[in-house]
Structure 1
Amino acid sequence: MDTRILKKLYQIFEVPVIVYQDSEKIKQYPPENIFRSVFACRNTCVSEPQLTSESKCLHDKAQKLFDYMQEMAVFRELPFLLFEDDSIFYGVLKDEEENLIIFGPASEKKADKKRKRSYHYRYHLNEDPLLKQQSKKEMAKLLVLAGFLINGKDIETDSIRIANCNEGIIKWSASGDTAYQQLNQSEYERDHNSMEYENKLIQIVENGDMDAMYKLVLGTEQLEDRHIGDVAADERKRVEYLAVTLIVLLSRAATKGGLSYEKSYGLADVYLRRLETCKEAEEMLALSSRAQIEFTKKVKITKMENCRFPHIERCKEYINQYLQKPIKVGDIAPAIGVSRSYLSRKFMEAEGITIQQYITKERCARAANMLKNSDYPISIISEYFCFSSQSHFGNRFKEYSGLTPKEYRNQKSAAITLEKKYKDVKKSTGMLCGAEIIL
């Protein structure tokens, strides 16, 4: 690799750059007498007896960040952006010789004295850090240029992905699986309540279009700024209300895109519960971005599965259409043009449960929503979803949720606080929005 290229990139973009071969630094611009990176803390030997607990903590923090960069670089073939917190981030890529090239740090927010002092204090740096304000798009363009000049590969800025080191978010997954595509701040810096944004978002989720969603979250696709009024007096409350709206929009769009009502509703419920634990607006923004990606991904997977089992998809559509009416398995097969035995066998192969079990599960999911969001008596809900009796409904619902309908309603009563608050704000401000809070 011609390190003169990196020197020239530093001179043009004024973003520090360091090259590592395995774990050893082989080049840095500007030199260390001008810029001491956070990774210098890694060079401290943690076994030294005179090393303070504070120094060990700094060593561990820097080592953890470096290890995560290396892990991500192996996982991803293309360059990526890595956010250390809600603002500080790096650009990372590998060259043809597997050397790790790190651009940064940079700050997405204004790099004023306060932010520099905060970063300085975090790693106990002896001098002011070279911390420049830079947008995700600018850093993405720098990575694209570096990749072309160093590796000869012509990639688009749309290909640059974002990861986040915020353990409170990156280590959590609503579905319980480990995923690396943790996204940080998104288009929430624009107003998410414009109908244009909503329509675009809904279309992307319904189509399961991951590329378009990554574009939207990364910010490479510009949407018109359109403020429809203040939702709340402070920024945190504003983001909280809008995050609730986003999750509801995603859930509805995912259902229209083919995701089962149970999965869509369950995922939205998990995200709403997680939202209640977020203390800062930045956490809510990161969580919202995560939701956008996860809902879209699940729709995409569902569509791929439906292509393999078209009769199963038509069977589910029939069930959803007649869920509030008595449904007999023997009526479904002729309605979609296949034999009962064939449909039952294929459904079991694809879903792992019988058609009747699926019907019961979907009814319980819809009933759970009504228990949470309405005051209808349990007997009415039971009758509405065609359970033979209230006791039969209670037994099936407990198998589904682990709780009786009454226990579920009482437990969920506190969980709808966000929705109620949002409705009150929407009513008082006259705010326009395409989402209703009832899932």
Structure 2
Amino acid sequence: MPKRISNPNAQVALKDFIGRENNYIHFEYEDEMKQYEMMKNGDPGAADESHKMMAENTSTLADDPVTNMKYLMICNATLMTRFAIEGGLNSETAYNTSDLYIYNMNKCTTVQEVLDLHYEMVTFFTEQMQKLKKQNVYSRQVILCMDYIDHHLHESIRLDDLAAFVKLNNNYFSTLFKKETGYTVSEYILSRKLEVAENMLRFSDYSCAEISSFLAFNSQSYFTQCFKEKNSCTPAAFRKAHFNKHIKGRHKKLPV
């Protein structure tokens, strides 16, 4: 077990004193939150604002400067993720974005590399929020069901289950979903499953049969039929045209 911090109150007070003596004062809360609100609102200046805050941050979280900057980026990624979700970004997309950039952060060997990757991360989050602003504003029930669908794409999803999930009458929920999204519930579920299938064909070497089974299609032939109607080609042809040849080795974790 790690050694407990001796008298944390005294040590916090000492850090406060040393910081003030050396003019190493943390940012005001409102100033720090500005970057997250800018990102949440899709403001193009969010990345520059966040980069400035990172570069000027005087917090000491580790003795090694690179490690210190990595810890600061993790803190920022956590808050960016929360604010993005509050702004309406799909929670799984937000968490996966954070995971992706933190994973790649571990490969950075200099402070500048961490800062550059952090800038890219904030830019990506901001672009996602800009896209959301261009889309229709959905009701809470529809957003909840969209998230539910994204988390259960490997299952057979029924209208009854979704309506019960948001405590609405089947007919009312079905009408509401169609009105707000432009899709029937079944059309939306199929669209999301096919989007995931496209990514699996691009970035993994799972067979068409495995993908069909994972996404709970009734049969591989039905999966092929639906895929062809959307993309004007079979899954096999799509893979041949779009497979990322830089992917090495089988992906054991199926994407959702």
Normalising by structure 1, report the TM-score.
Answer: 0.34
Partner of 2:190: 360
Q: 1:158 to 1:394 in 2, by over 3 A?
A: same
* Aligned pair partner of 2:80 in 204, 212, 231: 204
* Structure 2 residue 151 is the aligned partner of structure 1 residue 321: yes
Partner of 2:91: 256
Tell whether the 8 Å contact from 2:159 to 2:185 is kept in structure 1 after alignment: yes
Partner of 1:374: 204
Q: 1:159 to 1:319 in 2, by over 3 A?
A: closer
Q: Secondary structure at the match of 2:186?
A: helix
Partner of 2:141: 311
Partner of 2:12: none
Partner of 1:331: 161
| AA of the residue aligned to 1:208 | A
Q: How far, CA to CA, are the matches of 2:242 and 2:172 in structure 1? A: 40
Cα drift, residue 302 of structure 1: 4.7
Partner of 1:279: none
Partner of 2:61: none
Q: How far, CA to CA, are the matches of 1:198 and 1:350 in structure 2? A: 36
Tell whether the 8 Å contact from 1:209 to 1:296 is kept in structure 2 after alignment: no
Q: C-alpha offsets along residues 266-317 of structure 1, whole Å, 9 cap, x if unaligned?
A: xx9xxxxxxxxxxxxxxxx989846633433534875998985011012123
| AA of the residue aligned to 1:256 | S
Q: 1:157 to 1:336 in 2, by over 3 A?
A: closer
Partner of 1:348: 178
Partner of 2:234: 404
Q: C-alpha offsets along residues 191-243 of structure 1, whole Å, 9 cap, x if unaligned?
A: 59825413421431342299xxxxxxxxxxxxxxxxxxxxxxxxxxxxxxxxx
Q: 1:332 to 1:255 in 2, by over 3 A?
A: closer
| AA of the residue aligned to 2:81 | V
Q: C-alpha offsets along residues 109-154 of structure 1, whole Å, 9 cap, x if unaligned?
A: xxxxxxxxxxxxxxxxxxxxxxxxxxxxxxxxxxxxxxxxxxxxxx
Tell whether the 8 Å contact from 1:208 to 1:300 is kept in structure 2 after alignment: no
Q: How far, CA to CA, are the matches of 2:140 and 2:34 in structure 1? A: 32
Cα drift, residue 352 of structure 1: 1.4
Q: How far, CA to CA, are the matches of 2:177 and 2:141 in structure 1? A: 9
Tell whether the 8 Å contact from 1:205 to 1:299 is kept in structure 2 after alignment: no
| AA of the residue aligned to 2:236 | K
Residue correspondences, number? 186
Q: How far, CA to CA, are the matches of 2:211 and 2:204 in structure 1? A: 10
Unaligned runs of 5+ in 1: 1-155, 161-178, 211-253, 269-284, 422-435
Q: Which structure's relative contact order is higher, taking Cα pairs within 8 Å and 6+ residues apart?
A: 2
| AA of the residue aligned to 2:79 | Q
- Give matches, 1:1-400, under 5 Å: 181=45, 186=51, 194-208=70-84, 255-256=90-91, 289=119, 292-299=122-129, 302=132, 309-400=139-230
Unaligned runs of 5+ in 2: 1-30, 36-42, 56-64, 101-114
Flag the structure with larger Rg.
1
Tell whether the 8 Å contact from 1:208 to 1:299 is kept in structure 2 after alignment: yes
Q: How far, CA to CA, are the matches of 2:153 and 2:129 in structure 1? A: 21
Q: How far, CA to CA, are the matches of 1:354 and 1:374 in structure 2? A: 30
Q: Secondary structure at the match of 1:201?
A: helix
% identical aligned pairs: 22
| AA of the residue aligned to 1:378 | C
| AA of the residue aligned to 2:213 | E
Tell whether the 8 Å contact from 1:257 to 1:299 is kept in structure 2 after alignment: no
Partner of 1:152: none
